[in-house]
Structure 1
Amino acid sequence: MFNRMRAFIRKFIGFSVGPFVGAFLSFITIPLTTHFISPDEYGKASMFTLFQMIFATFLFFGVDQAYTREYHDTENKQNLFQNALLLPLLLAFCTLFAALALPATVSRLLFGSPGDKLPAVLFGVMIVFMVIERFILLSIRMQEKALEYSLLNIFVKFAVLVLTLFFIFFIRRDFLAVVYSAVFGQILGDLYLLFRYRSLFNLKHFSLDTGLLKAMIAFGLPIVVATSLSSLLDSMDRLSLRTWSDFYQIGIFTATLKIAAALSIVQTSFTSFWVPTAYRWYAEGKNIRYFKTVSDSILLGMSVLAAGILIFKDLIVLLLSPGYADSRYIIGFLCLQPIIYTVSETTCLGIVFSKKSYLSIWVGLIALIPNVIINVLLVPKFGAVGAAMATSISYIFFFAARTHFSATNGMRFPVVKHHIVFLVLLAGAFLNLLPASDTFFINIGLLAAVLAVQYPTIKKIWVLSHRRRASEA
């Protein structure tokens, strides 16, 4: 077992190189941005990214998920790729034409005024490139080319960093500097992807497979509804702030999300390799104890990282600039989302293995209802703090629902420890609303509590590691 776990960890590290280096580049980019751009302007820039994510949810039509599901069952991978890309790319071009026809309307939706027409048009251009990039990276990921996948992510992040520096120091210091650097950096990276993997777009042997398309759409339709609910869950906080608060609160909230991105690094790298690995393990008939070991281990790693961020939160917030000091009060809540989502990727497998993708719709609804209620009640009065509370609490519902439906479809293992850890971290988030001078030792105690709850996992990892060293001696 420890040999398999070693190979598992090695592949995880391969997929993690990109997100970790990308995070380092973002770590440089974020302070530069927040030191020169006010929270209000940063809030406007975040709306561009938010609506980009929302639109992408609908444009993929769930076909991206169907592509990964069909990948190992299809011999002609290139034809599968081209058929899968067809519908999302068509919808992306429709979005671009709408942005070209109604730039003032798009500008008002994104930035609150009709005057920024060029970035509104670039929004449509960006959507097209996003769709192409998504399917190219999925192809690389399903081939489990870990290092190549990571290097491509690094290239895109590096392009964004260079352009951010260029815009801030030589052109402008408002929200458009963030928008333009993100757009042109992403396009530059995607043009390289298109050139590097141009063979995927060779239509010489393309044949429209209507049966395959129908199967992918049938699989994807429940997913697009579920993904739409999930996207709404992820964006309801900022949409609520846009409705009942102001761009300053959006800026504070978004900047804090960037801090919590330290956990999203692990989320991204883990899910990038876990999906193909889990499908392969399932096809090989692996015992459920392997899935449980991964679940317990990722819970331990993520929760320790979250406690560490809270311990050093004041030092981290200093990097943003004094104008973003309020971020320290909500960071504990926003750390919960990437933790819970990442861990749920290990407890939801019964849903995907059973092909009952419609169950994800119920998961989304169960999480979204408390999210909407809490946002409506708290955001008008507490702004970013209320939105952060809504996000963290609703993700506990998300985990419980995802795990329950998975367990009823053949992937059942104990998760009491998971719920205890999440509740400890949620309690810690509320305690971090206290003045900064009172929270350092509270967060040390929080780390100790998280480790104590997970002592059996620590012991198991220690035993496996000791056995491996003994076998190599």
Structure 2
Amino acid sequence: MNFKTLLAYAAGPVGGAAASFAALPLLSRHFSSADMGRLLLMQTAAALALIVLGLGLDQSYIREFHHYRGREGVLLKHTAAPPLLLAAAAFAALMCFAPERPSETVFSLADARLSLLCLLFAAALLLTRCLSLVLRMNGRAWAFSLSQLLPKLLVLAAAAFCLTGWLPADTFTLLTVFAAAQAAALPLLLWQTRRDCAAAWRARWSAAELRPALAYGLPLAAGALVYWAFSSADRWLLRDLAAPEELGVYALAAGFAAAAGMLQNVFATVWAPTVFKWAADGGGADKVARAAALLCAAVLALSCLAGLLSPLADLILPPQYAAVRFVLVSSVLVPLLYTLTEATGIGINVRRKSGLVPSVSLAALAAALPLLYALIPPYGARGAAAAAAAAFWIFCVLKSELSARLWQPLPRRTFYPATLATLAAAVSHTLFGNAQNYPLFAVLWTAGLLWAAWLVRDDLGRLKARFGRR
């Protein structure tokens, strides 16, 4: 993958993160913290629907695409039709026989209108996933990025419009904005993939084509379900164990922290294919170790920057979100540690042992639950963020150790102390930080930045020498 292609694929995640980053302060000034918390719950529930209804067939589409050259329509029909038909049947049944159930389950509010919005958002997300994969696998990088970016831009436009005061400030309006933005991207996607959709429509149905796709996809869906339970337990327990306002604070912090997730999106696009190529050539362990070391330093540096810059949250958010600056410090560790795990745990995929990953997620979930139950009642959103960061560190260590034993052991003398020290500093800042002791934490984060620079001192020296020659 050349630089231009990488740039095209990165445009969507980077632009989407920037749009979301800009939209959150605007939304927080119009909607209550309870409404923002309900938005987070809708997005989390939609992610669950995507896993359950998708049946893992999206992964089958990715795996088999290059084996169906000239028959892509057949593959698309057998991997897209079952999830879409299942979703249509499930959503119709819910609205006919239990219209208030989705809202009651997700928000603890019996409201059929909110149920309808949840289902529309999930349906639009599912269809967007199916169609955007067609663009991704056909190498249409800019079209793929646009499909990821458009909903975020529409939300940003709606958030700016909210400041006029012409829209009601309630849960229904907020969820409508996000459901409508997600659905509004579909006409463009349908137009971009019209030939692929037409080929799928004309293709003949065959159960023989579906069986191997399900055989491959269902175990992956089960693994994704376990990971979803692990990664979303903090939101549901915060809903049940703390005030609604705490979930709103957590939603804002998670939204800002998601900007760090763009690193994971870009990294994942190029990392796995590159490592698989190295492994096929009979090597790559040294390169993986070096990349993991650089990424570890990047995680340390970005975490320190988040801690240093956290007071800026007070400048862009209303007073009721004063705790966001502290929650954010731990929240940003979650996507950063997950990105690091993509590098240090790659040996599991190289050895084709991905079936072991759900056991890692289960172990991390078992560690997360006691932490969440212990920290949420006294600390609210702060406790949820601290527990989630600690659980993801455990997930990172377990997956890294499993990878080291299955494939090649990576140098871990620096990796574990650096990430553990970062976790300890972030959790301390989140749980015990305040405006008065911020200078102490600022010194700590500055020292962390210097440590990160020391870890990559050789690379910085080579970079300086290269620019010096120019």
Tell me the TM-score normalized by structure 2: 0.90
How many angstroms apart in 2 are the aligned matches of 1:317 and 1:379? 23
Q: Which residue of 1 aligns with 2:27?
A: 33
For 1:153-232, what aligned pairs fall within 5 Å after superposition?
Answer: 153-166=148-161, 169-202=165-198, 203=200, 206-208=203-205, 210-232=207-229
How many angstroms apart in 2 are the aligned matches of 1:263 and 1:52? 21
- How big is the shift at 1:395? 0.5
- How big is the shift at 1:468? 9.4
Q: Which residue of 1 aligns with 2:442?
A: 443
Secondary structure of the residue aligned to 1:121 is helix
Q: Do 2:242 and 2:377's aligned partners in 1 also have CA atoms closer than 8 Å?
A: yes
- How big is the shift at 1:394? 0.7
How many angstroms apart in 1 are the aligned matches of 2:128 and 2:298? 30
How many angstroms apart in 2 are the aligned matches of 1:282 and 1:197? 34
How many angstroms apart in 2 are the aligned matches of 1:407 and 1:128? 40
CA spacing shift, 1:289–1:74, aligned 2, 3 Å: farther
Q: Do 2:304 and 2:448's aligned partners in 1 also have CA atoms closer than 8 Å?
A: no
Aligned partner (choices 9, 14, 18) of residue 20 of structure 1 = 14
CA spacing shift, 1:374–1:113, aligned 2, 3 Å: same
Deviations 1:230-275 (Å, cap 9, x if unpaired)? Answer: 1111211110011112211110111111121221222223224434
* Structure 1 unaligned regions, length at least 5: 1-6
Q: Which residue of 1 aligns with 2:403?
A: 406
Q: Is 2:384 the partner of 1:387?
A: yes
How many angstroms apart in 2 are the aligned matches of 1:209 and 1:414? 49
Using the TM superposition, name which of 43-52 and 292-301 deviates more: 292-301
Q: Do 1:349 and 1:406's aligned partners in 2 also have CA atoms closer than 8 Å?
A: yes
Using the TM superposition, name which of 414-423 and 313-322 deviates more: 414-423
**Coordinate RMSD, CA, aligned:** 2.6
Q: Do 1:263 and 1:302's aligned partners in 2 also have CA atoms closer than 8 Å?
A: no
Q: Do 2:297 and 2:455's aligned partners in 1 also have CA atoms closer than 8 Å?
A: no
- How big is the shift at 1:323? 0.8
For 1:126-141, what aligned pairs fall within 5 Å after superposition?
Answer: 126-141=121-136
For 1:392-471, what aligned pairs fall within 5 Å after superposition?
Answer: 392-432=389-429, 433-452=432-451, 455-460=454-459, 462-463=461-462, 466=465
CA spacing shift, 1:439–1:414, aligned 2, 3 Å: same
The residue identity in structure 1 corresponding to 2:172 is L
The residue identity in structure 1 corresponding to 2:182 is Q
How many angstroms apart in 1 are the aligned matches of 2:201 and 2:3? 39
CA spacing shift, 1:270–1:144, aligned 2, 3 Å: farther
Q: Which residue of 1 aligns with 2:94?
A: 99
How many angstroms apart in 2 are the aligned matches of 1:70 and 1:130? 22
Aligned partner (choices 76, 101, 113) of residue 81 of structure 1 = 76
Between Structure 1 and Structure 2, how many residues are aligned? 464
Report sequence identity in percent: 24
* Structure 2 unaligned regions, length at least 5: none
Q: Which residue of 1 aligns with 2:340?
A: 343
Q: Which residue of 2 aligns with 1:57?
A: 51
- How big is the shift at 1:292? 2.9
Q: Do 1:156 and 1:188's aligned partners in 2 also have CA atoms closer than 8 Å?
A: yes
How many angstroms apart in 2 are the aligned matches of 1:465 and 1:9? 22
For 1:267-278, what aligned pairs fall within 5 Å after superposition?
Answer: 267-278=264-275
How many angstroms apart in 2 are the aligned matches of 1:423 and 1:198? 49
How many angstroms apart in 2 are the aligned matches of 1:225 and 1:404? 22
How many angstroms apart in 2 are the aligned matches of 1:144 and 1:299? 30
- How big is the shift at 1:209? 5.3
Secondary structure of the residue aligned to 2:245 is helix
Q: Which residue of 2 aligns with 1:4?
A: none
CA spacing shift, 1:81–1:440, aligned 2, 3 Å: farther
Q: Which residue of 2 aligns with 1:239?
A: 236
- How big is the shift at 1:132? 2.0
Q: Do 1:230 and 1:364's aligned partners in 2 also have CA atoms closer than 8 Å?
A: yes
Secondary structure of the residue aligned to 1:413 is coil
Deviations 1:26-84 (Å, cap 9, x if unpaired)? Answer: 22211111112221222222221121122222222222233323334443444323322
Deviations 1:181-235 (Å, cap 9, x if unpaired)? Answer: 1000110012211121122212355244545533332232332222111111121
CA spacing shift, 1:158–1:348, aligned 2, 3 Å: same
CA spacing shift, 1:352–1:67, aligned 2, 3 Å: farther
CA spacing shift, 1:113–1:310, aligned 2, 3 Å: same
Q: Which residue of 2 aligns with 1:266?
A: 263
Q: Which residue of 2 aligns with 1:66?
A: 60
CA spacing shift, 1:119–1:291, aligned 2, 3 Å: same
Q: Do 1:330 and 1:385's aligned partners in 2 also have CA atoms closer than 8 Å?
A: yes
Q: Which residue of 2 aligns with 1:358?
A: 355
Secondary structure of the residue aligned to 2:257 is helix
Q: Do 1:347 and 1:406's aligned partners in 2 also have CA atoms closer than 8 Å?
A: yes
Secondary structure of the residue aligned to 2:55 is coil
CA spacing shift, 1:225–1:177, aligned 2, 3 Å: same
- How big is the shift at 1:452? 2.1
